[in-house]
Amino acid sequence: MAGQDAEMSFWDHVEALRGTLFRSVLAVLLVSVIFLAIPKPLFQAVLWPTRPDFPLYRLPGVDFSLDLINIELSAQFFVYLKVSILCGVVLAFPWIVWEIWKFIAPALYEHEKKAVRKAFLLSSGLFYLGVAVGYFVVLPVCLIFFANFTVSEAIQNTISLSSYMSLFTSMVFLIGLLFEFPTVILVLSSLDIVHRSQLRDGRKYAVVVMLVLAALITPSDPFSMFVLAIPLYGLYELSIFLCKE
């Protein structure tokens, strides 16, 4: 243990963790309440990928829009709550990262703090980059594929609101979390746990892992798997670049 952390008892750590969790959850709830109060702008953004004026659909040769239906009585209300909380987590993410940093900082030596601090500063940027990639690239590409795919001309695709929101959550929020991988590697590298040579040697295994992760997040068809696996592998290469020898 280092510094202040060496003087803290087990219950002191538990109390500090409780405070961290409480403040993080409180921040999410406060931001969520704001979104609950403005449902129209919120859902305009959430449903934008279903409309023909979405940026990706303006590309030459791309003409797409999606009509959603609701088939469950309470679905719209619970989607409203779910989306508000999800957006609360997304916007409160920098605060959550700050709370985590305050919790672990006392356990680090001074040289470790300087190195790990850089990783935490990078984490929010990577998270929002992942959210943007999921929202503007992966989600619309998957929507185009699934909405136009059919095993028979006699079967028409009718997409429910719940089905769309399930894909939206996995494509946007989870991809944002996956983009934190370089942050984790940077922290481990700063603590001399992981080195660049190890990552270089593990490239062939990384490809398999990225495909498995993509299969778990996407609906597991080959097309959407590769659409997601490509930026994930790019993150692996970025991690190699950030990692020290």
Of all helices (H) and strands (E), which one includes residue 18? helix 10-37
pLDDT digit string, tens, across residues 145-175: 888 877 778 888 888 998 899 889 888 888 8
How many residues in total does the chain contain? 245
Q: Among candidates 137, 241, 154, 159, which has minimal Cα distance to 199?
A: 241
Backbone φ, ψ for residue 160 (5° rounding): -85, 160
pLDDT digit string, tens, across residues 172-223: 888 898 888 888 888 888 778 888 888 888 888 888 888 888 877 766 567 7
Q: Among candidates 125, 124, 101, which has minimal Cα distance to 114?
A: 101
Instruction: Locate 111 and state its tokens.
Output: 């040289």
Q: Enter the pTM of the model.
A: 0.81
CA separation for the pair 161, 165 (Å, rounded)? 6
Cβ atoms 232, 133 nearer than 8 A = no
CA separation for the pair 207, 218 (Å, rounded)? 16
Cβ atoms 143, 49 nearer than 8 A = yes
Residue 91 pLDDT: 92
Is the model's pLDDT at 104 over the cut of 70?
yes
For the chain, give percent helix, strand, coil, nearest 5: 80, 0, 20
pLDDT digit string, tens, across residues 15-69: 888 989 999 999 999 999 998 888 888 889 999 999 999 999 998 888 898 999 9
List beta partners, residue 68: 159
Structural domain of 10: 3-242
CA separation for the pair 93, 26 (Å, rounded)? 12
Considering its fold, how many domains does the chain have in total? Answer: 1
Least confident span in 49-58, 77-86, 106-115, 151-160: 106-115
Tokens 């080195």, residue?
195
CA separation for the pair 175, 190 (Å, rounded)? 24
